[in-house]
């Protein structure tokens, strides 16, 4: 049995290591940096294991005042997000060793990369809205250098835009905390919510309006309309491994914030059947459709994947907005599926750019002949993102559709409109992803009728192993989803 102090280990281990790499030059140099970063990320995963398989733990850190405690607390939801974030962060970190081999300022990159990992672990185990907000803002500040890493004019502009959007979203959350403070019994996360019905009586309109603002605030990090603009700007200019974790991990910090807000602060019963649920669900569905449409029209490879993230993360937000157990299970499944899939897609794009210098989809004719392993990974996870069995993306979207058909309290139109939007988005997803594979594997013939021949440009195992691993997990989890579904069903039963 571990003590509650142990919660600091996965937080401080990567955070202190990142500081040392950034401040102690010998530790940040090439020969020492790679094994140190690898060891820290692997040790962080190992350090999480006792937390994942132990009972709930609570660790008080300090108090800002008598009723504003800052503390860490474990629950099943936090464990899921911590496990997914740590594993995917490690895979993208290993991939980056080859991608960043000739980049400048590598010591700075890995310093911020590891410190951010520690902050993400604290975020997953935040026990109160104040604790969550504190680490949420710190995460934003630490990831800005990852976006701006190349320090080009475009990268700096994208970093500033990312920061501005993030501050706007976080400010909505903070404003909501202030405005709801007269109506809550505590600022700690409590299943069912912390609003006092006696205090809320007569102020329902205020509480509902503030709740929507807070939901939009956290959804900014998840790329939901109308504060989605940072995502398609930041991804194309950031290094590919940074783009991978921005999409696969950082967006999930917004998702986790929405979960905490819906089920442990405001409370699902407070919002079920209200105009807030309708409005928020409408925003998620609009984002799902619009993101897919813009991805379909985009030729820049990484920007196409960025618009895809805008759409796909809103699948998760839609599942949460149903306030139904099936929708919640689908949302949690899609958190796992999207993290594995989208990291692989950005790694594939990064590998193509790294090996060939090609940045546009229209330039990728025959890329499957040049880089068969990379493009097979891309194709398999694309199939999953479309929602074709046996991949995990099919299972998650099945449950999301079931949640939409089963939800109550909203206008009957949404029961049918939502699955239709999800289906249309899936078709668009096939259009903007599988066409890349078709162009890559079937380049056609030369003018003389002979099949075109392409020189092999496959990257090394340092890039390929993380991609193959994430691809295999996304397929295997879809083939054998019973354990995940059972675990997430238990979480949904606890939250609802």
Rounded to 5 degrees, what angle do the CA atoms 71, 75, 76 make? Answer: 155
The pLDDT, as a whole number, for residue 26 is: 81
Q: How far apart are the first and last CA of the chain?
A: 29
CA 167 remoteness from chain centre:
18
Distance (Å, rounded) from C-alpha 107 to C-alpha 102? 12
- Which residue in this structure is represented by tokens 């912390």? 194
Distance (Å, rounded) from C-alpha 85 to C-alpha 251? 11
Rounded to 5 degrees, what angle do the CA atoms 329, 467, 85 make? Answer: 45
Q: Both tokens of residue 54?
A: 């132990």
Q: Both tokens of residue 225?
A: 């309309």
Q: What is the DSSP string of 132-171?
A: HHHHHHHHHHHHHHHHTTT--HHHHHHHHHHHHHHHHHHH
Question: Residues 360, 300: contact at Cβ < 8 Å?
Answer: yes
Q: Which residues pair with 72 in a beta bridge?
A: 59, 126
- Which residue in this structure is represented by tokens 């491994």? 241
Distance (Å, rounded) from C-alpha 85 to C-alpha 73? 17
The pLDDT, as a whole number, for residue 496 is: 85
Measured in degrees and rounded to the nearest 5, phi and psi for residue 72 equal -105, 140
Q: Both tokens of residue 352?
A: 């193509």
The pLDDT, as a whole number, for residue 25 is: 83
Per-residue pLDDT reduced to its tens digit, 29-50: 777 788 999 999 999 999 999 9
The pLDDT, as a whole number, for residue 447 is: 52
Residue 388 gets the label, from left (phi > 0), alpha (psi -120 to 50) or beta, of beta
Among 341, 327, 331, 481, which Cα is nearest to 404's?
327
**Angle at which helices 9-23 and 30-52 cross, to 10°:** 170
The pLDDT, as a whole number, for residue 2 is: 81
The pLDDT, as a whole number, for residue 64 is: 81
Distance (Å, rounded) from C-alpha 9 to C-alpha 6? 5
The pLDDT, as a whole number, for residue 270 is: 93
Rounded to 5 degrees, what angle do the CA atoms 306, 111, 113 make? Answer: 25
Q: Which regions of the chain are under pLDDT 50? A: none
The pLDDT, as a whole number, for residue 54 is: 86
Q: Which residues contact 282 (CB under 8 A, 6 or more apart)?
A: none
pTM, whole model, 2 decimals?
Answer: 0.95
The pLDDT, as a whole number, for residue 407 is: 87
Question: What are the sequence ranges of the domains in the chain?
Answer: 1-271, 273-496
Q: Is residue 457 packed enough to be buried (19+ CB in 10 Å), middle (13-18) or exposed (0-12)?
A: middle
Distance (Å, rounded) from C-alpha 145 to C-alpha 141? 8
Q: Identify the DSSP state of 65.
A: E
Q: What is the DSSP string of 330-344?
A: HHHHHHHHHHHHHHH
Taking residue 204's Cβ as centre, other Cβ atoms within 10 Å add up to 12
Among 373, 371, 388, which Cα is nearest to 466's?
373
Taking residue 88's Cβ as centre, other Cβ atoms within 10 Å add up to 24
């Amino acid at each position: 049995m571990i003590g509650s102090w142990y919660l600091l280990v996965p937080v401080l281990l990567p955070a202190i290591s990142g500081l040392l790499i950034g401040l102690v030059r010998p530790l940040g140099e090439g020969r020492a940096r790679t094994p140190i970063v690898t060891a820290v990320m692997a040790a962080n995963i190992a350090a999480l294991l006792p937390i994942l398989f132990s009972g709930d733990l609570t660790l008080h850190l300090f108090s800002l005042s008598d009723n504003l405690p800052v503390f860490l607390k474990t629950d099943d939801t936090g464990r899921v997000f911590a496990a997914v974030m740590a594993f995917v962060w490690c895979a993208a970190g290993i991939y980056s060793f080859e991608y960043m081999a000739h980049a400048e300022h590598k010591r700075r990159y890995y310093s911020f990369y590891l410190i951010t990992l520690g902050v993400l672990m604290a975020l997953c185990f935040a026990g109160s809205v104040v604790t969550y907000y504190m680490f949420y803002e710190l995460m934003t500040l630490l990831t800005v250098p990852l976006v701006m890493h190349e320090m080009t004019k475009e990268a700096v502009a994208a970093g500033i835009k990312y920061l501005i959007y993030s501050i706007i979203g976080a400010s909505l959350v903070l404003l909501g905390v202030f405005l709801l403070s007269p109506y809550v019994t505590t600022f700690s996360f409590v299943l069912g919510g912390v609003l006092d019905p006696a205090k809320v009586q007569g102020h329902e309109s205020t509480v509902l309006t503030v709740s929507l603002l807070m939901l939009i605030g956290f959804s900014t990090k998840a790329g939901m309309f109308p504060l989605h603009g940072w995502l398609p700007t930041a991804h194309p200019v950031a290094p590919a491994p940074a783009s991978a974790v921005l999409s696969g991990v950082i967006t999930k910090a917004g998702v986790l914030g929405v979960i905490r807000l819906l089920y442990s602060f405001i409370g699902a019963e407070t919002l079920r059947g209200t105009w807030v649920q309708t409005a928020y669900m409408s925003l998620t569905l609009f984002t799902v459709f619009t993101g897919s449409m813009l991805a379909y029209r985009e030729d820049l490879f990484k920007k196409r994947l960025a618009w895809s993230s805008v759409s796909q993360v809103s699948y998760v937000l839609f599942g949460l907005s149903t306030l139904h157990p099936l929708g919640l299970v689908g949302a949690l499944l899609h958190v796992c599926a999207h993290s594995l899939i989208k990291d692989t897609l950005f790694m594939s794009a990064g590998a193509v750019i790294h090996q060939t210098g090609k940045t546009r989809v229209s330039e990728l004719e025959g890329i499957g002949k040049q880089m068969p392993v990379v493009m097979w990974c891309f194709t398999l996870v694309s199939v999953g993102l479309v929602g074709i069995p046996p991949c995990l993306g099919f299972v998650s979207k099945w449950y999301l559709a079931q949640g939409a058909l089963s939800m109550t309290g909203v206008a009957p139109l949404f029961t049918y409109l939502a699955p239709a939007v999800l289906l249309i988005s899936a078709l668009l997803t096939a259009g903007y992803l599988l066409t890349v594979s078709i162009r890559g594997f079937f380049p056609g013939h030369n003018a003389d009728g002979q099949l075109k021949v392409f020189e092999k440009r496959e990257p090394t195992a340092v890039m390929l192993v993380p991609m193959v691993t994430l691809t295999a997990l996304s397929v295997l989890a879809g083939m054998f989803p019973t354990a995940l579904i059972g675990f997430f069903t238990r979480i949904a039963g606890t939250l609802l």
